[in-house]
Structure 1
Amino acid sequence: MAGARIRCSQAVQTPRREEPSGETGDAAGSLRELPRWIRFYLYGMHGLSLDVLLSSLHGVSNHRDPKLLGFSSPYLCVVHALNHFLLEKVYAQKKSFRGRPVVFHLVFYPSIYIGLQLLIGNLSTLTEQVRVLSGTQLAVHYLLALYFTQVFHRWVSRLRYRSSGPGDRGDGRPYAPQGLPGLVRFLFFGMQGLLDEVIFTSIFHLVEKSDRSLSGHTSPWSFLMYGSCSFVVEKLYLHLRFVRGWRTWQRLPIYVCFIYTWEFCCGLFLRQFGACSWDYSHYPYNVMGLITLLYLPGWVGLSLYQDILSNVLMRIKVCTKEGTDLGEERKEVNGELDSKK
């Protein structure tokens, strides 16, 4: 009897193991590598933004125009995306240069990068004469190669994508997961704004001037304007949808009113310095040539697209280490959850 009591007391005192709640598996399994379509989109925008920046700097050095007009095209956007995919493969060869990082970062990668840029330049001109880079262009491309290998590729390799997004809690309650940092979102929205303007102006040139090169223009000032405006509109989206529960048709008037106000204020400020790159004076229903109701359908469409982009960005997170293996990342997540338990 005494032995039975001891065994019973031991059984009572032995802590029962808790069944896994599934939180660990969900947290670890929900992260995966950034999908190709997102990388393609990001690479294209990034390359187009560099086109605009470099061409605007070249223009201001020659003409001293405060509008800082820069040029690119949807064609080049696609070419840059494909080029970045190739450079992504080249950057992955960094593992083969262990113990020799200087050779990879200062010689191997820049050589391939400059060769690809020279090839793209000759393909874009489509002339029989081979294009040769000048000393200044060679130096610029070399600096860009260092930027890619030291900053851009490292940053992209840290991005992970959640399989669950806003509103996927499962209990009917909407929620907004934490995504990219604010500065990164601002940069993304700024590049998106440059892409929007280049596409719009290229289509305008195609329709009005039959320009099949689809060359479009924009300005780095638009980068700041779109980046800041979209950043605020996203905050409105998060508050109006996830806090107040407003539907799309309720949010759209708020978006459009803010966009028109922001465009007017930014244009009025830039006009004081002769840096405003747009003038709607020849369009009907314009206010001081800075805004026009003729573009209302376009702003409505971009506002709807803004919500889609915000949902995508909320699925992306930045890992703490470059190229962190997903298995190691799951272990880190498991460790954090175990410590919380």
Structure 2
Amino acid sequence: MLSRFLLYGCTGWVLEVLFTGANAALRRDRSATAQTYLWMHPIYGGTALALEEVSARLKPLPRPVRALAYTALIFGAEYATGWLLKKVLGRCPWDYTPHRWSVHGLIRLDYAPAWYLTALLFEPVRDGLLHVTSDALRHTPEYREAEEAGVVPAGCLPEGEAEQAGVVATRFERAQVVEVSP
């Protein structure tokens, strides 16, 4: 879970930098100045882990409907974390107060299309990240040692099924804990 949290946080940072840089360029900022906040990493990481849980529960629904639920969760996370940061720091790092569609300066409702697009992309991005990380796991010394010792649990690395790849690291980590425990 920690590795997914870290990957999601970094992915969120990259997306935010691309979004704010593109927005600056559209406003004729020739340097296309982009920004994010250190606080955003844990916010993006935690929100994406929550999205994983919601995704598992909403799997029978069509993807556009799931994306609506994800969008609501994203807005909720942005509002809640902004409110919490405001209480802890005395201000929220992002301040949408001057914008027409802002809610308490913490979220912007006019960002709904951008968040919906992000929500639509969540599952393919998640599946890609999990597939890449499960493939990377095969190349670690720990995995090779476990494989040589014959202690890799059956089905630990699903072949070609990115949707199931999220269980890979968890199963492997649990197998290592069981192996190490007396």
> 2 CA distance for matches of 1:186 and 1:336?
24
Residues 1:259 and 2:104 are matched in the alignment: no
Report the number of matched residues.
Answer: 150
Residue 233 (structure 1) aligns with? 51
> 2 CA distance for matches of 1:258 and 1:336?
34
Residue 170 (structure 1) aligns with? none
TM-score, normalised by the number of residues in structure 2 = 0.71
Letter in 2 for 1:278: W
Render the CA deviation track for 1:174-232: whole Å, top value 9, x for unaligned: xxxxxxxx110000110011111111111122122x33333311111011111101110
Q: 1:197 aligns with which of 9, 12, 16?
A: 16
Identity of aligned pairs, percent? 27
2:68 touches 2:119 (CA, 8 Å); kept in 1? no
> 2 CA distance for matches of 1:335 and 1:235?
26
- Structure 1 unpaired stretches of 5+: 1-181
Letter in 2 for 1:305: L
Q: Using a 3 Å threshold, how does the CA distance of structure 1 residues 322 and 216 change in structure 2: closer, same or farther?
A: same
Render the CA deviation track for 1:129-185: whole Å, top value 9, x for unaligned: xxxxxxxxxxxxxxxxxxxxxxxxxxxxxxxxxxxxxxxxxxxxxxxxxxxxx1100
The runs of 4+ residues in structure 1 deviating greater than 4 Å are: 328-337
TM-score, normalised by the number of residues in structure 1 = 0.40
Q: Using a 3 Å threshold, how does the CA distance of structure 1 residues 331 and 323 change in structure 2: closer, same or farther?
A: closer
Q: Using a 3 Å threshold, how does the CA distance of structure 1 residues 319 and 269 change in structure 2: closer, same or farther?
A: same
Greater relative contact order (CA < 8 Å, ≥ 6 in sequence): 1
Shift of 1:320: 8.4
> 2 CA distance for matches of 1:196 and 1:274?
26
Structure ID, larger Rg: 1
> 2 CA distance for matches of 1:219 and 1:294?
21
Residues 1:279 and 2:98 are matched in the alignment: no
Give the 3-state SS of the residue equivalent to 2:35 in structure 1.
strand
Q: How does 1:198-213 map to 2 (within 5 A)?
A: 198-208=17-27, 210-213=28-31
The Cα RMSD (Å) is: 2.6
Shift of 1:321: 4.3
Residue 218 (structure 1) aligns with? 36
> 1 CA distance for matches of 2:130 and 2:23?
33
Shift of 1:266: 0.6
Letter in 2 for 1:284: R
